[in-house]
Chains A and B, each alone.
Chain A
Amino acid sequence: MRKGFVGPIGDDIPSIFPIIAGVMLFLGTVVYATNAIESKNRELDIRRTTLGLAYIATEKGFINPTDFDSRCQNISRPYADRQHIKFAIVVKKFCKAINVNTNVFSAEADASTDGRGFDCTNDQTKLSTMASDPSKVPKDIIILNYPIAVQDPCGDGSITNGLGMLNVVVWRPEK
């Protein structure tokens, strides 16, 4: 019997390299796929939750502070607590024209003519921080805007209803 070029095991050594490379490639792909799918699921989950909160907030085309506070305590906060999210619903009033570059984290008036809005949140500290410092806004935040009618849009005691924007902001609590 002739001996092999290197030996019975030595002849198989070159084949080990592609086998190890293949195994590592496959395992790496599986790990990457798992992480990517999990990340996508988290993003879809928070968007779905935000939409659910938006449906609650935009049930009617008109909003007044009394109803807003009642819904905030009885519906919005319990919903957010069940979903384990942090949220803010900020209603802004616009007297003359809607400002699309508005600060969605603050209920304060944009222009001197606008009336002051109102908000509902389960994390007032974080909301105030985001309102004053844009760099503190979490990367996974979701913001949805909807038009709504508000009473006294100019803050001058009028009983007429004017234009407003309802901003639904959702983010995950920090671990």
Chain B
Amino acid sequence: MVKKRGQAALYDGIMFLLLTGLSTSVVFVFISSYGNAQEQALRNAHFLNYLESVMKAMYYVDASNIAHASDSMPPQEQALYPNLNCRNLGNWGMVSVAELLKKDLADPGSSTSDVKLDGKFGNDALAPGKNAMRCAMKEIMKPFSYSGYKYLVEVVDPACTGPSCTAGAIYTAGEKITNSQIPNNGGALFSCDDVLSHLGESKKLMAVSTPFRILWVDNADANKPTKIRNYLLRICVWPTTE
């Protein structure tokens, strides 16, 4: 009986040790995940603030001051930014990047398909808005590019829902405003929605949109020729899978 009493005491001691071990492991699991959600929220807030700063800076940076963005690009950068030539922006003096972009999008014509981000006002007049945006973004997004992120800038027409405008994105002719090499969707449009489809299940895409109003002249309307297009300028960023 007393032998069993000794055994019982030892058994109780070992059980107590096991219980404390279990509670210790629960505490460690809690500590390992403590603050992770807050940390992620702070990181996202910083990313969003950075993207908002990019959008704000576009309204002030003069196109002539980014004329050297394409100088001495190493081969790996040339692959990311094909046919990038910023030198011709040196002639644009105190015109800001955002103003040039608006000129590019002020194409006359009331149809959605008349508006293109192609570096021209209409079909002939030079308005290198797309090029200015490409050059500016190449420099301003360097911290993100070097940290393994890709970006894409697009202009979105929220009112456009027909088949001619996939996800509302305005058609960008030629090279897109991006540092990504994800293939174009059918070679015609390349929007943040396309990127989201490509990323699939991971879906770690962050986007900031700002209102972007364009004044354009409708020559077909004698009563009220000056009109407004209410677009969105959107930038999306995602960790690279390339």
Contacts and interface: CB of A to CB of B under 8 A. Distances in A.
Given A3-B2, A12-B9, A33 B27 contact: yes
B65 A146 contact: no
Interface in B1-33: 1-3, 5-6, 9-14, 16-17, 19-21, 23-24, 27-28, 30-31
A37 B34 contact: yes
Main secondary structure, interface of B, reads helix
B198 interface: no
A163 B16 CA distance: 65
A142 to B, nearest CB: 10
A85 interface: no
Contact of B53 (A2, A41, A147): A147
Contacts of A98: 139-140, 142
Contacts of A32: 31
Interface stretch (B37-45, B100-108, B148-156, B158-166): B37-45
Nearest to A159: B94
B205 interface: no
Interface in B118-168: 136, 139-140, 142-143, 146
Contacts of A58: 49, 52-53, 56
A146 B53 CA distance: 7
Q: Interface size bucket, B side? A: 35 or more
Contacts, number: 160
B58 A61 contact: yes
Q: Which of A149, A159, A162 has the most CB of B within 10 A?
A: A149
B20 A25 contact: yes
Interface stretch (B66-74, B186-194, B216-224): B66-74
Nearest to B38: A44
Interface residues of A, number: 57
Contact of A61 (B24, B34, B57, B69): B57
A148 B71 contact: no
A51 B45 contact: yes
A43 B94 CA distance: 43
Interface string A28-40: 0110110011001
B5 A40 contact: no
A54 to B, nearest CB: 6
Contacts of A100: 142-143, 146
A44 B40 CA distance: 11
A29 B53 contact: no
B42 A47 contact: yes
Interface in A48-105: 48, 51, 54-55, 58, 60-62, 94-98, 100
A149 B109 CA distance: 34
B207 interface: no
Contact of A29 (B14, B24, B49, B143): B24
Closest A-B pairs by Cβ, 3 of them: A61-B56, A11-B6, A149-B60
22 contacts: A2-B1, A5-B3, A8-B2, A11-B9, A19-B16, A19-B17, A22-B20, A29-B24, A36-B31, A40-B34, A43-B35, A51-B49, A61-B58, A61-B59, A62-B57, A96-B68, A97-B139, A98-B140, A98-B142, A147-B50, A149-B60, A161-B96
Interface of A: 2-6, 8, 11-12, 14-19, 21-23, 25-26, 29-30, 32-33, 36-37, 40-41, 43-44, 47-48, 51, 54-55, 58, 60-62, 94-98, 100, 144-149, 153, 159-163, 166
Interface of B: 1-3, 5-6, 9-14, 16-17, 19-21, 23-24, 27-28, 30-31, 34-35, 38-39, 42, 45-46, 49-50, 52-62, 64-66, 68-69, 71, 93-94, 96, 136, 139-140, 142-143, 146
Given A47-B39, A147-B50, A147-B53, 9 more contacts: A14-B10, A22-B20, A26-B23, A32-B31, A41-B35, A51-B46, A159-B94, A160-B64, A162-B61
